[in-house]
A = this chain, B = another copy of it.
Amino acid sequence: MITHPAGFRAAAVAAGIQPGRDDLALLVADGPCAAAGVFTQNRAAAAPVVVSREHVGTGRARAVVINAGCANAATGAAGLRDARDTASCAAGTLRCAPAEVLVASTGVIGVPLPMEKVRAGIERAVAVLSRDGGALAARAILTTDTRPKEVALDLQVGGRPVRLGAMAKGAGMIAPNLATMLAFFTTDARVTPGLLHRALVEAVGESLNRITVDGDTSTNDMAVVLASGASGAPAIESEGADLEGFCRALTEASRRLAEMIVRDGEGASRIAEVRVEGARSAAEADRIARTVAESPLVKTALHGGDPNWGRLLAAAGRSGVDADLSGLDIFIGDVWVAEGGAARAYDEAVAAAAMREDPVRFRLRFRQGTAAGRVWTCDLTHGYVDINAHYRS
């Protein structure tokens, strides 16, 4: 829950951007926080991405305004103005600087934000901010998600209890390229902005950057962390055990969100971990794992529970990596199904059983080096087609 750490309140309101549901969430810290963010690598970055990237560059933030139903992407100069106005509106009500407000949007591309509704929604949200508002906020930011995605963790910094909260949305247009959805983290630890950014990059790199639903990197992705310092625990200002412990906790929270996002992937009924070992470099391992994880043929075989390892091999072969496939061993779960790039005798029934594990584990072991990489993916189903054939209508 995003309000799990001390010093944060949240609220959700039905601003009317999408009919009949909460569609605007507000997260507010009691005082200025250290802040860090990572943003989509899509060249068509949406207006809220541009504005939040700029604002978080100060290393400080007080509040985040998040709306669902409209991405404010591909909206040109007017969209940029709307994103800035959203921050200014919240800043005015909260009596802070506009640069202390981050904004995030998710929904249809190419539609302008209904600013009157957004402004009125912010006013109403400020009035109902509460320590218990995290759960409502986590619901208000969803689009095609079927369930909210929240994490609450406790850790120790300098022997003192510290809390970490997180929430995310994401079900489609999910592909690993920095942050590939909306994810928000709060903590009452005190951390310098520089170290907070380092911790976020590390956490996201090991988790949210390693998932794919459809290979379509969104225009609106961001992951943001706010550290209030309200725990009273000693500040994390340098490397050491405290920073490491904090990084571990942030990575764990981010990993849990990542898993929730893949499990809730549009139409998903099953998830898989694709692990590549024995590669020459982490970048190559990663590229092979992503190619396999994004392959429609692998994803449909995953759906059908078919241990069709030939598709893993074919995807590895087209990954663009100059890999030696004659040394490739493939495992599904614990079943060794291919050896040296070729078929191997195995029990089809046992392999089929491995396809019913949760998650299904695909392992590709090369003999070219010691680097490894891992990506999580979900299956491709009728549900994905149904959700996206008529998304706007």
Contacts and interface: CB of A to CB of B under 8 A. Distances in A.
Contacts of A316: 43-44
Given A110-B313, A317-B43, A317-B44, A296 B342 contact: no
Contact of A318 (B216, B340, B343): B216
A390 B304 CA distance: 5
A218 B380 contact: no
Q: Which of A43, A73, A76 has the most CB of B within 10 A?
A: A43
Contact of A217 (B303, B318, B391): B318
A184 B87 CA distance: 61
A301 interface: yes
B216 A389 contact: no
Q: How extensive is the interface on chain A, given as a class? A: 35 or more
A342 to B, nearest CB: 3
Given A109-B313, A389-B300, A41 B318 contact: yes
Interface stretch (A91-99, A131-139, A170-178, A236-244): A170-178
Among A74, A317, A393, residue most surrounded by chain B Cβ atoms (within 10 Å): A74
A59 interface: no
A340 B310 contact: no
A198 B325 CA distance: 30
A310 B71 contact: yes
A120 interface: no
The winner among A297, A309, A343, A389 for most chain B CB atoms within 10 A is A389
Interface in A272-318: 294-297, 300-301, 303-304, 306, 308-311, 313-318
Nearest to A388: B300
A18 interface: no
A43 B297 CA distance: 17
A310 B43 contact: no
A350 interface: no
A385 B382 contact: yes
A314 B393 contact: no
A215 interface: yes
B388 A381 contact: no
Interface string A361-388: 0000000000000000000111011011
A112 interface: yes
A53 to B, nearest CB: 15
A105 B249 CA distance: 52
B382 A296 contact: no
A39 B390 CA distance: 38
B304 A215 contact: no
A116 interface: no
Q: Which of A44, A323, A342, A381 has the most C-beta atoms of chain B within 10 angstroms of its own C-beta?
A: A44
Contacts of A322: 43
A75 B393 contact: no
A326 B50 CA distance: 14
A130 interface: no
14 contacts: A41-B318, A43-B319, A71-B310, A73-B313, A73-B314, A173-B297, A214-B296, A216-B314, A216-B315, A216-B318, A217-B314, A219-B310, A300-B389, A300-B391
Interface of A: 41-45, 71, 73-76, 78-79, 108-112, 172-173, 175, 177, 214-219, 294-297, 300-301, 303-304, 306, 308-311, 313-319, 321-323, 325-326, 338, 340-343, 380-382, 384-385, 387-393
